[in-house]
Amino acid sequence: MAASPIAEVICDRSPAMRHRLASRLGSHRQAMGLHGPEQVMELWTTPQGDWTMVVTYASGTSCIVAMGEEWQNTLQDGPQKKDPA
């Protein structure tokens, strides 16, 4: 069985997690959205198509919850906005 690529470090302080994703993995935040009143889900991707899903908590901690490869951005016109009407 192959070892999980996130088995070593899963959670860290949010600034340290952002730095790690950008400097070590070459990732950029591609998308984000609210997940309840105290959590933000973030999708980080690399130009090679690797992706990392991170949950950031209001407490200042971020955790990697999933990683994968072959990410494909299918949005052509940007995020869909809710109709205020």
Q: Is residue 36 part of a domain?
A: yes
Which residue has better confidence, 27 or 73? 27
Q: Is residue 52 part of a domain?
A: yes
Which pair of structure tokens corresponds to residue 30?
């591609």
Q: What is the count of structural domains for the chain?
A: 1
Contacts of 59 (CB under 8 A, 6+ apart): 38
pLDDT for residue 6: 52
Q: Is residue 41 part of a domain?
A: yes
Q: Is residue 19 part of a domain?
A: no
Global pTM exceeds 0.85: no
Is there a contact between 6 and 25 (Cβ–Cβ < 8 Å)?
A: no
N-to-C CA span, the chain: 52
